[in-house]
Chains A and B, each alone.
Chain A
Amino acid sequence: MISRREVIKWGAAAPAFAACSHAAFASGVQGCDAFLLDQRFAAQVPQNHWGIPVMRFDGDVTGHWYQTIDPAWRQRGYVLGGITGSDALFVLETLAQQHGRRVVSRSQVGAADARGIAPVSWIIAPVHPSVVA
């Protein structure tokens, strides 16, 4: 189970990702094992930021799901942060729930487009005893 302290920490972190200032980002990603960036909304962050792998995609998360996230979510631990469209977050959140994980922090960081898709900054962490680190 993640602690209340960690939830609060991540709650503060997600908006910090969105600011994308290097300092804010550096403090925010602490505790994350990887970071997902939807290039439709956030393109500036370098590939490997403060030692945390940054996975980039354009709305379709299939490649990262298959290569990295699915294998990682079969193990214990693995906290994932991201700035993505709300559509991509819906996909990840639904998959997360099936793997004992939850969105522990989220904040919308921009207006929705005509299709109703807004950029969201979030953190998904393990919550079920079978997958917490």
Chain B
Amino acid sequence: MSVLPPDLDEAGFATFLEQLRGAVGADWVWSGEADMFPYRDSFSPVWNTGEERHASAAVAPADVEQVSEIVRIARRHRVPLFPISTGKNFGYGGPSPNVNGSVVLDLKRMNRVIEINEARAYALVEPGVSYFDLYREIQERGLKLMVDCPDPGWGSPIGNSLERGVGYTMPHFRDHFGAHCGMEVVLPDGEVMRTGMGALPGSDTWQEYPYGFGPDPAGLFAQGPFGVVTKMGFRLLPLPEYYRSGMISVPRRADFAKLVDHVNYLSDSGLIGEVEFGSPLSALMGDPQFLALATKTGGPSNAEMDAAAEAAGLHSWHVELQIFGPEATTLANWNYASDRILSDIPGAIAIAGDHFPLPATDDQLDNQTQPYRSSIKRRRSLGVPSLGAWKIVRDDGHVGFFPVLPRTAEAVFEMQRVLGDAMKEFPTLPPFFNALTMPLFWHTHTFQMVFAPSIKHDDPAHNAITHAAMKKCVAVAAQHGWGDYRAAPIYQDDVSDTYGFNNHILRRFHEQLKDAIDPDGIIAPGRGGVWPRRFRS
């Protein structure tokens, strides 16, 4: 389906494209249905419906000067640009824009790893650098640094962190935007700005002190429509000498409260990396009677769940711990963690897991040697990019709603109940929220849960259910104070609506900024629910 940019006719569009070709070369501008197919969101629940968002063209600049030139051309023609880095944002809109007819500013050619400093543990990269690229550079140069990767390694540190994406190593590195340090941005008028110490000519601390002096606007560029990021620095974890894992399980449902508190303490103290919570009872979900209990309206009681656990001879919960550091320290941390939990929770059991020096061997990365059944994906836990995440994708893809909730068992149980009951309206979807749904400890200081219903290109009825369920989940969660951390363009307004404190002052503030620097909406209008005046009506 070919579309035009808003307020532009065929002739105006042709002139605009001609000017883009003049800026970057004819080979790096695409339009027309076949060429634009890759810029559709193949995970879209509104695939092939009137709600799907289509770009009109794509342009791939080679450097920051060309980015500025493209922005100036777009400004002259009032054409919205939608910048992407590697464009793999599947589950959250893929490479597709908020506004129909936008031109995708595809930064894939800007793929230089500009600097990696081993002694000072940072990297400075361009948007087209993928996690694989950064990892390869580190390996080939034999540097002792670890990259914190998202599950699929084909995305980019810049694209992922601008979505506030997450990884799986130590707490402060898992929050990818939090681990950034310094950025270069092309503003909606084509000017190039650097944040933090990058604003001080001659400074050598751009990737070490993020703030510089005065207000720091860096946060506006994450999930925001304020500029095109052309360089970004990232803090890297020095490659730990040793990795150690272990599992601790607790018998009763109510024990989860103490288990979570201990894990919080260990994490906040920097003693452990990412953890995986789980329940041995999930083995019973194939039994219809147990399934009915775990998905019971209003949630099962602790006594009912404990009785089921006892009958099956299983513990209620477990947590897999991962520890990084020198070998002796990892052992001390494991001993400390298991003593701490076992001495506080009667009946808790600790099983020491795999441990080995880093870098890991292929067998260790494949995680075949644990003395227990592990759900840890070792590659991502050890900062090794992978494409294996595709094994978990069902049908033609999925959309994601990941509500943020407090790190307490009480909040976990409440979300299980509330969203479990709400989603009963959609009986054909899997019971994402049930009495065993585990919190994910991805961001540094908070939990999330996952709701990721699938989509099917040839089944619009199924997609409509997924779409309705997403909207309902966002709304019901918000009624309980749980907000989504990130959303596809088709849901960004719904999510933004839920962040409504004081008559949506946060959004109104963003709109004032947008109106001031980009009234025509040249950069990603609508991203993060922020629309300029031109599109608000």
Contacts and interface: CB of A to CB of B under 8 A. Distances in A.
A60 B108 contact: no
Given A94-B38, A95-B154, A128-B27, A62 B396 contact: no
Interface string A59-102: 11110011000100000000000000001101100110110000
Interface residues of A, number: 20
B86 interface: yes
B67 to A, nearest CB: 18
A91 B27 contact: no
A110 interface: no
A101 to B, nearest CB: 11
A5 interface: no
B388 interface: yes
B408 interface: no
Contacts of B379: 62
B390 A115 contact: no
Contacts of B108: 98
A129 B108 CA distance: 16
Contacts of A98: 86-87, 108
Contact of B396 (A65, A94, A116): A116
B413 interface: no
B88 interface: yes
B193 interface: no
Contact of B391 (A60, A65, A130): A60
Contacts, number: 47
Nearest to B379: A62
Contacts of A70: 132, 136
B393 A87 contact: yes
A116 B43 CA distance: 14
B386 A60 contact: yes
A40 B87 CA distance: 29
Given A66-B132, A70-B132, A129-B27, A91 B395 contact: no
Interface in B100-151: 108, 132, 136
B387 A65 contact: yes
B474 to A, nearest CB: 26
A28 B153 CA distance: 32
Nearest to B88: A94
Interface of B is mostly: loop
B395 A116 contact: yes
A95 B136 CA distance: 16
B136 A66 contact: yes
B395 A97 contact: no
A9 B393 CA distance: 32
Contacts of B154: 91, 94-95
B157 to A, nearest CB: 16
B456 interface: yes
Nearest to A59: B391
B394 interface: yes
A40 to B, nearest CB: 10
B394 A116 contact: yes
B69 to A, nearest CB: 20
Contacts of B456: 116
Interface in A49-67: 59-62, 65-66
B134 to A, nearest CB: 13
Contacts of B395: 115-116
A116 to B, nearest CB: 4
A26 B121 CA distance: 51
A89 B422 CA distance: 36
Nearest to B362: A63
Nearest to A88: B390
Contacts of B136: 66, 70
A98 B38 CA distance: 9
Contacts of A61: 387
A85 to B, nearest CB: 9
Which of A62, A65, A66, A88: most chain B CB closer than 10 A? A62
Contact of A91 (B87, B385, B387): B387
A128 B388 CA distance: 28
Contact of B388 (A62, A90, A130): A62
A115 B388 CA distance: 15
A72 B338 CA distance: 48
B199 to A, nearest CB: 32
Contacts of A129: 27
Contacts of A130: 27
A115 B136 CA distance: 32
Given A94-B88, A116-B456, A60 B132 contact: no
Q: Which 6 A-B pairs have the closest CB atoms?
A: A97-B38, A60-B388, A116-B395, A62-B387, A62-B386, A87-B390
Interface of A: 59-62, 65-66, 70, 87-88, 90-91, 94-95, 97-98, 115-116, 128-130
Given A62-B386, A115-B394, 9 more contacts: A59-B391, A60-B390, A65-B132, A87-B390, A90-B42, A95-B154, A98-B108, A115-B395, A116-B394
10 contacts: A62-B379, A62-B385, A62-B386, A65-B132, A70-B132, A90-B42, A98-B86, A98-B87, A116-B396, A129-B27
